[in-house]
Structure 1
């Protein structure tokens, strides 16, 4: 988790076996009236992550951390986001 001194968490990261959801990683970054309202919550689905190479897991984690920090996909117009990330590999099952 990421905290600022004397505050509540800004990013919360969890992992668990969420089952056959269709996503490997998922980030929820709440937004109200155009303003980010922490914390961002990131989940990693062990159902798909288990048995995958370390490089794949790192790619998913870095990708989701980018979303938690406010980066979005190029085509997105989401709340207060800087759209510089491409692809959606974390929203489909892991290879293999």
Structure 2
């Protein structure tokens, strides 16, 4: 397994009013201003058809999702759900 590539650091100069609007938007979506900028840049690149194919997804931050503990000997895969049956047509009398 190869170590993840180091993230590129970039100095960005923004109008203070633009930064404040961006920071509020990021806060509304529970992101940092930096993560919001990256999210928006990736979305713009994708919409323009310029996002490289091998780009890694944005790393998830924060606490990992809760998982249910699995008892020893329990299968790790979920059983397949039965296909839904179509309702039987009613017989006319």
The two structures have a TM-score, normalised by structure 1, of 0.30
- Of structures 1 and 2, the one scoring higher in RCO (CA 8 A, sep 6+) is 1
Bigger proportion of residues as strand: 1
Larger radius of gyration: 2
